[in-house]
């Protein structure tokens, strides 16, 4: 009886052995079969999304700490980060208004930190001073500590002068800018 | 040269601090300033802005060096411990072991002032030395 079964289904035996070996290999070394790790879809899904939004934060004294506008904002719960397209950040400090825009950016909390990327333009206007424009490719803006900084190449321009450098650190509430290296500049000299 | 004064001032340095409230921009490390044919090299330079435009430059170096062409196209050069340059008036002051030389002349003093508009040089002795030294080379037969 057994021999008849064997003669009829002998071919199953090597197939069964092969299946066991393959299953074992998949568990041991999935990369051999280039098996994609299953991605936990929940982690990359945003929990809220805004379009053409404006958001404002007030400080403890009831003053506006910053205003953020943008085309879209998507918030991700796993790292509490928001991704923003066409962000526009507005800060008012010591009589000066800072308007910062870029192609895209991220926003993290505790502390609040904007990281802006792509054609970053900072426009600073103040009653007592000429307007200043800063251009760079990436910039971080810490709204609570009032620090604006980058490691990238920057250009600062005002009506009568222009400076270029690599790296910037600025305490915008104190009107101070530190240019970290490779500084070049040009000053127009008013006529006599 | 007088027309240097109408040229923009170009600067280079390792670092810079811009203090808007004080109206100063300081440049530190391998500082080089050029305006037309004038060139200043220093360790540290402070640029004072007035009405948001460059007004005066002060600086120090070890030493600070200066050079500029005069109207005759001859190169004047000088050095000192400190320098100040009034960009509007075109007046440059070298202070502290100051020297200013141009072909066949050398001036050594505690303080030397050079007015690029009038092309006039004046020198004062300092409290320590009190003396001004001027050296003028006699014309050689080739010059006559």
Is the CB of residue B11 less than 8 Å from the CB of residue B57?
A: no
Answer yes or no: is A1 within a domain.
no
Q: Give the residue-averaged pLDDT of A152-166.
A: 95
Q: Give the residue-averaged pLDDT of B31-37.
A: 94
**What is residue B72's three-state secondary structure?**
coil
Chain A touched by B25 (CB under 8 Å): yes
Quote the minimal CA–CA distance from B93 to chain A in Å. 18
Q: Give the residue-averaged pLDDT of B73-94.
A: 91
pLDDT of the residue at A90: 95
Residues of A in contact with B49 (CB under 8 A): 160-161
Q: Report the run of H or E that residue B118 belongs to, with start and end.
A: none
Q: Name the residue range of residue A149's domain.
A: 45-187
**With an 8 Å Cβ cutoff, are B13 and A180 in contact?**
no
| A-B C-beta contacts closer than 8 Å | 88
**With an 8 Å Cβ cutoff, are A183 and B7 in contact?**
no
% chain B with pLDDT above 70 = 87
Q: How far is residue A7's CA from residue B76's CA, in Å, rounded to a whole number?
A: 111
CA distances from B128 to A104, B33, B106, B109 (A): 63, 30, 20, 11
Answer yes or no: is A104 within a domain.
yes
pLDDT of the residue at B49: 85
CA distances from B129 to B2, B22, B79 (A): 32, 35, 17
Greater confidence (B143 vs B10) lies with B10
pLDDT of the residue at B89: 86
Residues of A in contact with B12 (CB under 8 A): 183-185
% chain B with pLDDT above 90 = 47
ipTM here: 0.84
pLDDT of the residue at A155: 97
Residues of A in contact with B45 (CB under 8 A): none
Please check the confidence at residue A167 and state whether its pLDDT lies above 90: yes
Answer yes or no: is A192 within a domain.
no
Q: What is the per-residue pLDDT across A50-69, written as a single tens digit (0 to 9) for each?
A: 999 999 999 888 988 899 99
Mutation choice for B interface testing from A161, A174, A180 by most B CBs within 10 A = A161
pLDDT of the residue at A132: 92
**With an 8 Å Cβ cutoff, are B21 and A192 in contact?**
no
One-character DSSP codes across B60-124: EEEEEEEEEE-TTSPEEEEEEEEEEEETTTTEEEEEEEEEEEETTEEEEEEEEEEETTTTEEEEE
What's the total number of domains in chain A? Answer: 1
Answer yes or no: is A157 within a domain.
yes
What mean pLDDT value characterizes chain A? 86
pLDDT of the residue at A124: 92
pLDDT of the residue at A174: 85
Task: Return the C-alpha torsion angle A159, A164, A168, A169, nearest 10.
Answer: -40
**What is residue B2's three-state secondary structure?**
helix
As a three-state string, the secondary structure of A132-181 is EEEEEEEEEEECCCCEEEEEEEEEEEECCEEEEEEEEEEECCCCEEEEEE
Half-sphere exposure at residue A151, Cβ-oriented, CA atoms within 13 angstroms: 0
Is the CB of residue B87 less than 8 Å from the CB of residue B55?
A: yes
pLDDT of the residue at A42: 46
Mutation choice for A interface testing from B52, B56, B86, B87 by most A CBs within 10 A = B52
Answer yes or no: is A2 within a domain.
no
Name the residue in chain B with its Cα closest to that of A182.
Answer: B14
Tokens found for residue A177: 């800018």
Strand-pair partners of A76: A81
Greater confidence (B24 vs A32) lies with B24
pLDDT of the residue at A27: 63
pLDDT of the residue at A189: 82
Tokens found for residue B14: 């390792």
What mean pLDDT value characterizes chain B? 86
Answer yes or no: is A15 within a domain.
no
- CATH code: domain of residue A57: 2.60.450.10
Q: What is the per-residue pLDDT across B42-55, written as a single tens digit (0 to 9) for each?
A: 999 999 988 778 88
% chain A with pLDDT above 70 = 83
Greater confidence (A119 vs A18) lies with A119
Residue (of B82, B14, B69, B22) closest to B47 by Cα position? B22
Task: Return the C-alpha torsion angle A10, A15, A20, A25, nearest 10.
Answer: 150
Is the CB of residue A75 less than 8 Å from the CB of residue A46?
A: yes
Please check the confidence at residue B119 and state whether its pLDDT lies above 90: no
Name the residue in chain A with its Cα closest to that of B20.
Answer: A175
pLDDT of the residue at A14: 77
Residues of A in contact with B57 (CB under 8 A): none
Greater confidence (A162 vs A26) lies with A162
Place of tokens 């982690």: A43
Please check the confidence at residue A39 and state whether its pLDDT lies above 60: no
């Amino acid at each position: 009886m057994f021999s008849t079964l064997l003669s009829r289904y002998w071919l199953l035996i090597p197939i069964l052995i092969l299946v066991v070996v393959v299953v074992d290999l998949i568990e041991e070394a999935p990369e051999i079969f280039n098996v994609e790790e299953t991605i936990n879809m929940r982690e990359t899904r945003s929990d809220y999304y805004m379009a053409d939004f404006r958001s404002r934060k007030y400080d403890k004294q009831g003053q506006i700490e910053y205003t953020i506008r943008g085309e879209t904002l998507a918030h991700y719960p796993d790292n509490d980060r928001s991704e923003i397209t066409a962000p526009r950040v507005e800060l008012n400090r010591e009589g000066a208004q800072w308007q910062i825009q870029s192609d895209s950016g991220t926003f993290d909390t505790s502390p609040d930190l904007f990281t802006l990327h792509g054609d970053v333009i900072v426009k600073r206007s103040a009653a007592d001073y000429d307007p200043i424009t800063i251009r760079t490719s990436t910039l971080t803006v810490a709204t609570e500590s009032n620090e604006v900084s980058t490691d990238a190449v920057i250009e600062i321009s005002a009506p009568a002068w222009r400076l270029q450098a690599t790296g910037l650190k600025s305490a915008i509430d104190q009107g101070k800018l530190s240019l970290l290296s490779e500084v070049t500049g040009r000053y127009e000299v008013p006529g006599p | 040269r007088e027309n240097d004064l109408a040229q923009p001032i170009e600067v280079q340095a390792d670092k810079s601090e811009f203090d808007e409230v004080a109206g100063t921009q300081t440049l530190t490390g391998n500082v080089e300033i050029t305006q037309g044919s004038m060139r200043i090299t220093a360790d540290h330079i402070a640029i004072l802005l007035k009405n948001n435009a460059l007004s005066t430059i002060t600086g120090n170096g070890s030493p600070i060096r200066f050079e500029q062409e005069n109207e005759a196209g001859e190169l004047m050069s000088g050095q000192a411990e400190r320098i100040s340059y009034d960009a509007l008036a075109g007046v440059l002051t070298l202070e502290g072991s100051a020297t200013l030389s141009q072909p066949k002349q050398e001036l050594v003093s505690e303080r030397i002032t050079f007015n690029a508009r009038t092309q006039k040089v004046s020198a004062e002795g300092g409290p320590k030395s009190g003396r001004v030294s001027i050296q003028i080379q006699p014309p050689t037969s080739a010059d006559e």
